Amino acid sequence: MDKVLTFKQGRVPLLISMPHAGLKLTPAVKAGLIPEAQSLPDTDWHIPQLYDFASELGASTLAAEYSRFVIDLNRPQDDAPMYVGATTGLFPATLFDGVPLFREGLVPTKEERATYLEQIWKPYHQTLQQELKRMKDEFGYALLFDAHSIRSQIPHLFDGRLPDFNLGTFNGASCDPTLARDLEAICAEHPAYSHVLNGRFKGGHITRHYGSPVDNIHAVQLELAQCTYMEEFEPFNYREDLAAPTRVVLKQLLARIIEWGRER
């Protein structure tokens, strides 16, 4: 397996995780995908570009290189269900629209998937865990921001149009409630965008597993509606005219997380 992640260490105790930004496919997955899936429509497109200001803030960043169609890094390795209702698992079997992901007879084998778990999922989580430990050892606490994006309308997964900013703290279990309130307040200062806390997206495995306020590790997930910064359909172009005002809000959110940590 070639390069499976990109990690850049920062100077403040904030790690931005981007588990669904990857575009690489293994030969078995590439050969088996249905035509509609070959453009990788369920990718968290352009997330590293959208958050490329992270180095200015001093945050660490961790981004996946392989597509979630190979293995979903935001699911537990035992593939326990994360949400009630329609969802996708550790090894996705369908597109977000509910269509089977692989052509009949071309699903990767158990052996191939065991390799993906060992050589893609585990290195990502080992790096994430090590960086959180390093930050906690150095600063006494660690902050984790799990960055995601998704099409604003996917009837198979949720009704209607998704809010623009979907903050998730696993119903308050993954971070201090005062931090969540601060982030909500920032979103409210930008009425051009809609927002919600712990709505349809409450935080996936990364937020739920690593966020532990009692251990001074505070985790927040943001599921951002893709219409706020890009074209939601193929060819999935990044739109600077949309992204620029969205990045203003993102910078404020991340800056507040860092400031909140210093104040506590």
pLDDT in tens, 57-100: 999 999 999 999 999 999 999 877 766 554 678 999 999 989 99
Pick the CATH number of 5-263 from 3.40.630.40, 2.30.110.10, 4.10.95.10, 3.40.50.920: 3.40.630.40
Can you tell me the mean pLDDT for 178-187? 98
Can you tell me the mean pLDDT for 195-202? 95
With 70 as the cut, is the pLDDT of residue 23 above it? yes
What is the Cα–Cα distance from 144 to 133, expressed in whole angstroms? Answer: 11
Per residue in 142-153, pLDDT tens? 999 999 999 999
Predicted local confidence at residue 59, as pLDDT: 98
What is the Cα–Cα distance from 250 to 248, expressed in whole angstroms? Answer: 6
Percent of the chain with pLDDT over 90: 92
With 80 as the cut, is the pLDDT of residue 164 above it? yes
Count of CB atoms situated within 10 Å of the CB of 181: 10
Predicted local confidence at residue 85, as pLDDT: 53
